[in-house]
Structure 1
Amino acid sequence: MLVIHHRRPPQPHWDEELYLTFEARSKSRLRTFTARGEEVGLFLERGQSPLADGECLEAQDGRIVRICALPETLLHITCGSPVELTRAAYHLGNRHVALQVGGGWLRILEDHVLKAMLDQLGARAELVEAPFQPEHGAYGGGHHHSHHGDTDFNYGPRLHHFGVRL
């Protein structure tokens, strides 16, 4: 079994490839197989951003493994104006939907309930097959809610300093 503990930036050369959906790229623990069929055990640091298409991993034996995002069934969302697209993004964000943002479009994993909502908003949502690489989030560190005294998950915002006057 190819055992992997370390993430690496994209490399010009690699030894193996892993083809993974967004859900699989979001896991820190995963049993899967390389493109050539070799069994792989991922044991990555928890709380990190999902693996990105083209990112590399380093196996215990020194081999470099390149991540390849598998195409998935997505809703490709466009609107008649930037205001309408912003409104669609707002309503999707309000539902904590993983969202990929592009030039004049949004993409989400296919969901018939969200498609109905988008239709009501006047957005055009068409099915496409493409790799899915949604925004990770402004605050980083995964999605969680900190509570007073929870030292493991008690972090300050990275974008804002609420209550601090500069």
Structure 2
Amino acid sequence: MTQTFPTARAYRSHAHATLSAQVALDYDGRFLRRKMLTTDDGQSVLVDLAKTTSLDHGGVLVLDDGREVGIVAAPEELLEVTGDDLPRIAWHIGNRHTPCQIEKDRLFIQRDHVIRDMLGKIGATVREVVEPFTPEGGAYGHGRTHGHAH
């Protein structure tokens, strides 16, 4: 006997209905096209999107039956970056096309010892933390900032 699972074939940036469940995914896990996920209530859901999609915190997967499953940014190992000249520090991070979450007094990036060393050399204070990661998207409507091909 073949087991069937609820299937999500659509993604929206925000909910239109009461959520039937939520799924917590780290930043890398929120970039997918086809994958089996387990919701917070233990339900298995097959994601089968038409193209690889960057799922944002607060977005929803729309199941074939109309139910919506919320996307939550899961806590992950990050570097918290602070310093006296945060705009300059942010420029150096962006110049390396490193995904970065920007807040008023601090930046967050994924842990990377090479970037950490560079940040220390330019006067940044870097601390390891575990928090949800919701970096800025691309400036031209692209959800991810990997590489130079826009």
Q: Same fold (TM over 0.5)?
A: yes
Structure 1 pair 28/47, CA: closer, same or farther in 2 (3 Å)?
closer
Q: Which amino acid aligns with 2:25?
A: L
Deviation string, structure 1 residues 63-98 (Cα, Å, up to 9, x no partner): 211111110111111111xxx212211221121101
The residue number in structure 2 matching 1:108 is: 109
Is the contact made by 1:53 and 1:69 (CA closer than 8 Å) also made in structure 2?
Answer: yes
CA RMSD of aligned residues (A): 1.9
The residue number in structure 2 matching 1:18 is: 23
Q: Which amino acid aligns with 2:105?
A: G
Is the contact made by 1:21 and 1:71 (CA closer than 8 Å) also made in structure 2?
Answer: yes
CA drift of 1:11 comes to 4.4
**In structure 2, what is the Cα distance between the partners aligned to 1:138 and 1:45?**
23
Is the contact made by 1:71 and 1:132 (CA closer than 8 Å) also made in structure 2?
Answer: yes
Is the contact made by 2:31 and 2:52 (CA closer than 8 Å) also made in structure 1?
Answer: no
**In structure 2, what is the Cα distance between the partners aligned to 1:59 and 1:43?**
10
Q: Does 1:66 align with 2:67?
A: no
CA drift of 1:45 comes to 4.0
The residue number in structure 1 matching 2:124 is: 123
Is the contact made by 1:24 and 1:30 (CA closer than 8 Å) also made in structure 2?
Answer: no
**In structure 1, what is the Cα distance between the partners aligned to 2:34 and 2:122?**
38
SS in 2 for 1:10: coil
**In structure 1, what is the Cα distance between the partners aligned to 2:108 and 2:16?**
27
Q: Does 1:94 align with 2:91?
A: no
| Larger-Rg structure | 1
**In structure 2, what is the Cα distance between the partners aligned to 1:45 and 1:97?**
27
Gaps of 5+ in 1: 147-166
CA drift of 1:38 comes to 2.0
**In structure 2, what is the Cα distance between the partners aligned to 1:125 and 1:12?**
40
Q: Which amino acid aligns with 1:71?
A: P
Q: Which amino acid aligns with 1:116?
A: D
Q: Does 1:40 align with 2:45?
A: yes
Q: Which amino acid aligns with 2:66?
A: G
**In structure 1, what is the Cα distance between the partners aligned to 2:17 and 2:124?**
40
| Partner of residue 53 from structure 1, selected from 57, 73, 78 | 57
Gaps of 5+ in 2: none
The residue number in structure 1 matching 2:137 is: 136
SS in 2 for 1:40: strand
**In structure 2, what is the Cα distance between the partners aligned to 1:102 and 1:45?**
33
Is the contact made by 2:36 and 2:46 (CA closer than 8 Å) also made in structure 1?
Answer: yes
The residue number in structure 1 matching 2:34 is: 29
Q: Which amino acid aligns with 1:138?
A: A
Name the one with the larger strand percent.
Answer: 2
**In structure 2, what is the Cα distance between the partners aligned to 1:27 and 1:121?**
35
